[in-house]
């Protein structure tokens, strides 16, 4: 009896296309883990932030993406509905600045609580 190489023995043990099932299940499991631990929570956080930005009102304290902290003085809509291009007038110290709505990183309501905390 002749001895067969180990690779040919592995082929003989898995008839048909069953050799591809185990790697596909493994890759599917890895994708599911990444989806539920990384992708889905980030999507939910982004939706909550967008909702909080759309509910912005005069008197709210905000932090911009650049780190500027101030109070909303005026909201000027670019169109009929709220959009990320709306202009927000912010009072910081003795200065008034105009910031795009989409550049707001964090929102605090007039009472001092974070809007993201209320949504969650």
Note the residue count of the chain.
120
Confidence (pLDDT) at 10: 53
- The residue ranges of DSSP E strands in 1-120, in sequence order, are 61-64, 69-76, 87-92, 95-100, 104-108
Q: What pTM was computed for the model?
A: 0.64
Domain residue limits at 47: 1-120
Confidence (pLDDT) at 119: 45
Is residue 72 pLDDT above 70, yes or no? yes
Q: Supply the DSSP symbol for 59.
A: T
- Please count the CA atoms within 13 angstroms of the CA of 88 that sit on its side-chain side: 31
List residues bridging with 43 in a β-sheet: none
Is residue 89 pLDDT above 60, yes or no? yes
Q: Are strands 95-100 and 87-92 parallel, antiparallel or unpaired?
A: antiparallel
Q: Domain count for the chain, please give it.
A: 1
Confidence (pLDDT) at 120: 43
């Amino acid at each position: 009896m002749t001895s067969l190489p180990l690779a040919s023995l592995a082929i003989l043990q898995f008839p048909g296309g069953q050799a591809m099932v185990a790697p596909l299940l493994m890759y599917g499991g890895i994708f599911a883990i990444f989806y539920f631990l990384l992708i889905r929570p980030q999507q939910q956080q982004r939706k909550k932030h967008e909702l909080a930005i759309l509910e912005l009102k005069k008197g709210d304290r905000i932090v911009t993406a650049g780190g500027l902290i101030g109070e909303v003085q005026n909201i000027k809509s670019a169109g009929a509905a709220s959009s990320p291009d709306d202009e927000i007038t912010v009072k910081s110290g003795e200065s008034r600045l105009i910031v795009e709505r989409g550049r707001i990183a964090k929102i605090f309501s007039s009472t001092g609580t974070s809007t993201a905390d209320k949504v969650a």
